Chains A and B, each alone.
Chain A
Amino acid sequence: MSTTAFTPSPRPRATAQPTSPAPRPTRQVRVAVIQPCLEVGDVEGNLIHLEDLIRDAVRAHQPQMVILPESASSPTVHGKRSGEAARPIDGAPLQLLRHLSRELDVVIGGGFLAQRGGDAHASYAITEPDGGIHLSNHNGSTFWGRHHSRGTTGRPRPSALASFDGAPVGVACGWEWASTDVARGLRHRVQVVVGGTCWPSYPLNWSGPLDRWMTREHHRQIQQARELPRQVARLLGVPVVLAAHVGTASFPTPFAKGLSWDTELLGESQIVDRDGTILARLSGADGEGHAAATITLEPPAPLDPLTDVEWIPSMSATTRSLRGALRARGALGYHAERLLHRHDWQDVPGADLADEINPGEPGQQASATSGPRESRPR
């Protein structure tokens, strides 16, 4: 699990000032979040739907940056359909972001399950109009996806942060938003945090005492999802832009074959100012859509203290236990199936891109290749 940071490389705009070598202390950026309602496993259909949403958001808000959730090619839940959503790192999900970024002259961020080399990763890409691409893996971001991607062990932790052009941008996905360690890693190091969540709630189709228990946990999840962006913004002292999935999902219950887990994806896409003020919001009840706001990038000024607890919100015992059990089962399952060559994506020859791809001509993009990572073309 990791968080990364990047800064959009300078690019010519009609209103842009001449590039100065000195970092600009503040910058106004118009940002849009997209809250999609997608079908599990239908990657190609979902990408067409996302294209429509992105175009619509750009028409409506004229943003400089559009943020999609993690797993934007297919919601990540339990079951085989989610695992089949993996596409080559240079496949259709990245191409969608790449092409729209150039065509619409907008920075776009979005996550997808990607085959990178000999593994599947929960990747998040930020593409720029000049062809620059920033890739990062967020394998521990969701316990549901642990079965489908190569994971990390232990608590979420940030990777080294790249920073240039004076306005570093951190990327966080799923559980990383809730991790104190991740917040510590990003604190004082970024001027905005972007990313998303894919947060299926507890089952809403179970009956009897289980129904009451699950419903209570469900409402707790909604509350946490609503509060978390504000908490993160105040802890880091920077604006946050979080895009979330919405809609319903139905998948087999782990450890209980035959029992269906019918639930909702929580929504709560938000753009929050550094002091915790919600600038734009789409709740689960709002359904699919997009929202936009103007944020100010400036040096971070944390307002709340960081504590030593593992999670920023207070996680219930149910959630903690379930997370632990599912991650362990997922890790075992992923590696066992990889060894047996049973993952759907293993049928396709693997290649990878460098994490940082330099701007370039549209016809001369870096290709996914294989070989030593350090010598991968950028």
Chain B
Amino acid sequence: MDERCDVVIVGSRLAGAAAAAHLARAGRQVVVLDRSHFPSNQLSTHLLFPSGIHELERMGALEGILASDPVKSPWLSLQTEDSELSERWRPSGPIDYCMCVPRTIQDLELVRAARAAGADVRERHRLVKVLWRGGRACGVRYAGPDGGEREIHANLVIGADGRRSSVAAEVGSFRPYRSSRNGRGLVFRYGQDPLVGTRAGETIYQFWEGDSLGFLFPSAPRGKTLMLFMGAAEEAARAKADPEGYWAEKMAAHPRMAARAEGMTELTPLASTGATSAYFRASSGPGWALIGDAGHFKDPVIGQGQRDAMWSGRVLAETADPVLDNPAELDRALRKWEQRRDRECLPSYHFGNIETRVEPVAPAFAELIRRAPANPTPDLGDLFGRARSMPQVLSLPRLSAGLLAAMAHPRGERPEGLTWKHTKRDLRVHLGVRKELLSRRFRSHVLVADSEHPNAEPPPYRGSGTKTAARPQPAPRSATADAVNGSDGDSAAATSPVSSDAAISETPTTTTSKATRRESKAISKEVPV
């Protein structure tokens, strides 16, 4: 028998669970479909800045996650070759720390929070197709664990099913109207940190060495730590071919990260990816919306995917709830929500595009780090914490001052990237971003020169669910087949088969024990950033 509810959401991870929790708490009848069975792993950016953790708290999932004993990291350390900045995170509401929680723990708590709020979350349920009536999405047909197909009708259909969103394909919005190719790839592993309990063990590190980036994030449970290199995207293949050789080579090139990671034990195998193109899809239409990675994906180098997924779910819920029973008003509200999401995400989208260039740290930015006071108040960390946007943190006067300071160095000591060509390009990018934000264009397909990189490779289209529904149901995907940043459900109730864009590859290592490898296998499938 067909069912009826207010909202049906496909995907129950970050974005879907956030939307479900807020809508259900507002008294709406919400059904969430997800093909996974929780706890379930998911490739992801893991790292949550204070604003992201604040979203967890708002949706009611934080308490459960804290029970897993994650390290709270109130400190940020940015290190270039000749300078270091150490500052605290600016609080977002009551939260003044970062966390890096494995998705097996985190997503289970998200689902629990959505259920506690009143949402009906159905695991092992697969989307078959989106239903239409009068030009509007009006529900979905889905297949349950027994393979039987049923229909559920709703005022609003939300796609929260990740980069290869089946809902996006069903509503005709799979092809991004705007995208940018990543320059950097990811290679990472976990280890057990001997500095747990010290300030260093509660600090989020970012190391610049030449054009290579290294990161170190305290994780969960306490003591587990994630080590990540983001060099050129091509390095992912090298890491796969010779994992330990690659790791040793990177550690040698990153002496400060090597010093920080000294004594790490229980190293997991390496995981890597080189395909993380950023994009915007049209994310709203009559009776439907795409949230999280389903609608927009930014380069993982700045680690904003998880926070933006929950933010977009919450704001969509708050926007749609008052007008859910009026189709015309709902469609207007959805479009305005998309505009708001774009304005929220565009600055960090461009910031990610800038950071993904395989170049040494920008001279002006390096000067800002060098000139930071010894015990600074929260400042540059706002770029990641989202307390302020990139144009607000890197204001034009501030960038100019940094640039002039870099130029004041004696000719032989000037930073490597300080060339007229690069300086002109960087200024043009920052001006272009500001111009775009001022223009208030909706779904602008006008690219910002030198921010957006050509030859992007967004997720490949595999056909809509209507077509794939006739095929045999694919086996549950392993996390290694999922694409990157997966802030939300790539493994949601999607009809897409396992993607060949298997961006992440896990490389066996020969230097870790079998027991360690077994234990670390699940964790190593998770992509941090």
* A369 vs B444: C-alpha distance when bound (angstroms): 6
| A348 and B332 in contact, given A95-B286, A363-B168, A363-B170 (Cβ under 8 angstroms) | yes
| CB of A252 within 8 Å of the partner chain | no
| A364 and B175 in contact, given A92-B135, A348-B335, A370-B441 (Cβ under 8 angstroms) | yes
Q: Which residues of chain A are within 8 angstroms of B463 by Cβ–Cβ distance? A: 361, 363
- For A367, give its contact among B281, B332, B461 (CB under 8 Å): B281
Contact in complex: B134, A349 (CB < 8 Å)? no
Contact in complex: A369, B466 (CB < 8 Å)? no
| A347 and B441 in contact, given A363-B172, A365-B175, A367-B282 (Cβ under 8 angstroms) | no
| A44 and B328 in contact, given A51-B133, A92-B286, A96-B134 (Cβ under 8 angstroms) | yes
Contact in complex: B172, A351 (CB < 8 Å)? no
Interface residues of B in 303-354 (CB under 8 A from A): 327-328, 331-332, 335-336, 338-339
Q: B434-445, CB under 8 A of A: which get 1 and which 0?
A: 000000011111
Q: Which residues of chain A are within 8 angstroms of B170 by Cβ–Cβ distance? A: 363
Contact in complex: B442, A48 (CB < 8 Å)? no
Q: Which residues of chain B are within 8 angstroms of A365 by Cβ–Cβ distance? A: 172-173, 175
* A87 vs B286: C-alpha distance when bound (angstroms): 10
* A97 vs B134: C-alpha distance when bound (angstroms): 9
Contact in complex: A92, B134 (CB < 8 Å)? yes
Instruction: With both chains docked as a complex, state the minimum distance between the C-beta of A40 and any C-beta of chain B, in angstroms.
Output: 14
Q: B266-294, CB under 8 A of A: which get 1 and which 0?
A: 00000000000000011001110000000
Instruction: With both chains docked as a complex, state the minimum distance between the C-beta of A119 and any C-beta of chain B, in angstroms.
Output: 14
Q: Which residues of chain A are within 8 angstroms of B169 by Cβ–Cβ distance? A: 362-364
Instruction: With both chains docked as a complex, state the minimum distance between the C-beta of A9 and any C-beta of chain B, in angstroms.
Output: 18
Q: B481-509, CB under 8 A of A: which get 1 and which 0?
A: 00000000000000000000000000000
Q: Which residues of chain A are within 8 angstroms of B281 by Cβ–Cβ distance? A: 367
* A50 vs B332: C-alpha distance when bound (angstroms): 21
Contact in complex: A92, B331 (CB < 8 Å)? yes
Closest A residue to B326 by CB, please name it: A44
Contact in complex: A370, B443 (CB < 8 Å)? yes
Q: Is the interface of A mostly helix, strand, loop or mixed?
A: mixed
Closest A residue to B334 by CB, please name it: A348
Q: B418-462, CB under 8 A of A: which get 1 and which 0?
A: 000000000000000000000001111110000000000000010
* A97 vs B285: C-alpha distance when bound (angstroms): 15
Contact in complex: B332, A370 (CB < 8 Å)? no
Interface residues of B in 110-164 (CB under 8 A from A): 132-136
Contact in complex: B133, A48 (CB < 8 Å)? yes
Contact in complex: B464, A47 (CB < 8 Å)? no
| CB of B174 within 8 Å of the partner chain | yes
Q: A84-116, CB under 8 A of B: which get 1 and which 0?
A: 000110111111111100000000000000000
Q: Which residues of chain B are within 8 angstroms of A93 by Cβ–Cβ distance? A: 135
* A376 vs B282: C-alpha distance when bound (angstroms): 14
Pick the most buried of A88, A98, A372: most chain B CB atoms within 10 A of its CB.
A88
* A56 vs B459: C-alpha distance when bound (angstroms): 39
* A51 vs B281: C-alpha distance when bound (angstroms): 27
Q: Which residues of chain B are within 8 angstroms of A99 by Cβ–Cβ distance? A: 132, 135
- For B446, give its contact among A50, A349, A371 (CB under 8 Å): A371
| CB of A375 within 8 Å of the partner chain | yes
Q: Which residues of chain B are within 8 angstroms of A375 by Cβ–Cβ distance? A: 445-446
Contact in complex: B335, A349 (CB < 8 Å)? yes
Contact in complex: B328, A43 (CB < 8 Å)? yes
Contact in complex: B174, A370 (CB < 8 Å)? no
Q: Which residues of chain B are within 8 angstroms of A367 by Cβ–Cβ distance? A: 173, 175, 177, 281-282, 443
| A47 and B135 in contact, given A91-B286, A372-B446 (Cβ under 8 angstroms) | yes
Q: What is the total number of residues of chain B having a CB less than 8 Å from a CB of chain A?
A: 37
* A93 vs B174: C-alpha distance when bound (angstroms): 20
| CB of A368 within 8 Å of the partner chain | yes
| CB of A359 within 8 Å of the partner chain | no
Q: Which residues of chain B are within 8 angstroms of A47 by Cβ–Cβ distance? A: 134-136
Q: Which residues of chain B are within 8 angstroms of A87 by Cβ–Cβ distance? A: 331
Contact in complex: B445, A376 (CB < 8 Å)? yes
Q: Which residues of chain B are within 8 angstroms of A366 by Cβ–Cβ distance? A: 175
- For B174, give its contact among A347, A364, A369, A377 (CB under 8 Å): A364
| CB of A287 within 8 Å of the partner chain | no
| A94 and B135 in contact, given A348-B332, A349-B336 (Cβ under 8 angstroms) | yes
Contact in complex: A369, B177 (CB < 8 Å)? yes
Instruction: With both chains docked as a complex, state the minimum distance between the C-beta of B114 and any C-beta of chain A, in angstroms.
Output: 27
Instruction: With both chains docked as a complex, state the minimum distance between the C-beta of A249 and any C-beta of chain B, in angstroms.
Output: 20
Q: Which residues of chain B are within 8 angstroms of A371 by Cβ–Cβ distance? A: 441, 444-446
| CB of A350 within 8 Å of the partner chain | yes
* A277 vs B170: C-alpha distance when bound (angstroms): 44
* A96 vs B170: C-alpha distance when bound (angstroms): 14
Closest B residue to A95 by CB, please name it: B135
* A124 vs B19: C-alpha distance when bound (angstroms): 37
Q: Which residues of chain B are within 8 angstroms of A377 by Cβ–Cβ distance? A: 177, 445
Contact in complex: A362, B464 (CB < 8 Å)? yes
* A118 vs B29: C-alpha distance when bound (angstroms): 37
* A141 vs B281: C-alpha distance when bound (angstroms): 35
Q: A343-355, CB under 8 A of B: which get 1 and which 0?
A: 0000111110000
Closest A residue to B441 by CB, please name it: A370
Q: Which residues of chain B are within 8 angstroms of A372 by Cβ–Cβ distance? A: 446
Q: Which residues of chain B are within 8 angstroms of A94 by Cβ–Cβ distance? A: 135
Contact in complex: B327, A361 (CB < 8 Å)? no
Instruction: With both chains docked as a complex, state the minimum distance between the C-beta of A36 and any C-beta of chain B, in angstroms.
Output: 13
Contact in complex: A95, B332 (CB < 8 Å)? no
Q: Which residues of chain B are within 8 angstroms of A363 by Cβ–Cβ distance? A: 168-170, 172-175, 461, 463-464
Contact in complex: A368, B282 (CB < 8 Å)? yes
* A350 vs B335: C-alpha distance when bound (angstroms): 9
Contact in complex: A349, B135 (CB < 8 Å)? no
| A347 and B134 in contact, given A95-B286, A363-B168, A364-B461 (Cβ under 8 angstroms) | no
Q: Which residues of chain A are within 8 angstroms of B174 by Cβ–Cβ distance? A: 363-364
Interface residues of A in 20-51 (CB under 8 A from B): 43-45, 47-48, 50-51
Instruction: With both chains docked as a complex, state the minimum distance between the C-beta of B501 and any C-beta of chain A, in angstroms.
Output: 16
* A371 vs B331: C-alpha distance when bound (angstroms): 22
Instruction: With both chains docked as a complex, state the minimum distance between the C-beta of A328 and any C-beta of chain B, in angstroms.
Output: 30
Instruction: With both chains docked as a complex, state the minimum distance between the C-beta of A147 and any C-beta of chain B, in angstroms.
Output: 20
Instruction: With both chains docked as a complex, state the minimum distance between the C-beta of A173 and any C-beta of chain B, in angstroms.
Output: 20
Instruction: With both chains docked as a complex, state the minimum distance between the C-beta of B281 and any C-beta of chain A, in angstroms.
Output: 7
Q: Which residues of chain A are within 8 angstroms of B466 by Cβ–Cβ distance? A: 362
Closest A residue to B165 by CB, please name it: A363
Q: Which residues of chain B are within 8 angstroms of A351 by Cβ–Cβ distance? A: 442-443
Contact in complex: B443, A95 (CB < 8 Å)? no
* A190 vs B331: C-alpha distance when bound (angstroms): 38
Q: Which residues of chain A are within 8 angstroms of B461 by Cβ–Cβ distance? A: 361, 363-364
Contact in complex: A349, B173 (CB < 8 Å)? no
Contact in complex: B335, A98 (CB < 8 Å)? no
Instruction: With both chains docked as a complex, state the minimum distance between the C-beta of A342 and any C-beta of chain B, in angstroms.
Output: 16
Q: Which residues of chain B are within 8 angstroms of A51 by Cβ–Cβ distance? A: 133-135
* A98 vs B132: C-alpha distance when bound (angstroms): 11
- For A44, give its contact among B136, B441, B445 (CB under 8 Å): B136
List 6 tightest A-B contacts by C-beta distance, closest first: A96-B135, A363-B169, A349-B442, A367-B282, A92-B135, A365-B172
8 contacts between A and B (CB under 8 A): A47-B135, A93-B135, A95-B135, A98-B172, A99-B135, A367-B175, A371-B441, A377-B177
Known: A51-B133, A367-B173, A371-B445. 8 other contacts (CB 8 A): A44-B134, A44-B327, A87-B331, A92-B134, A92-B287, A96-B135, A363-B173, A369-B444
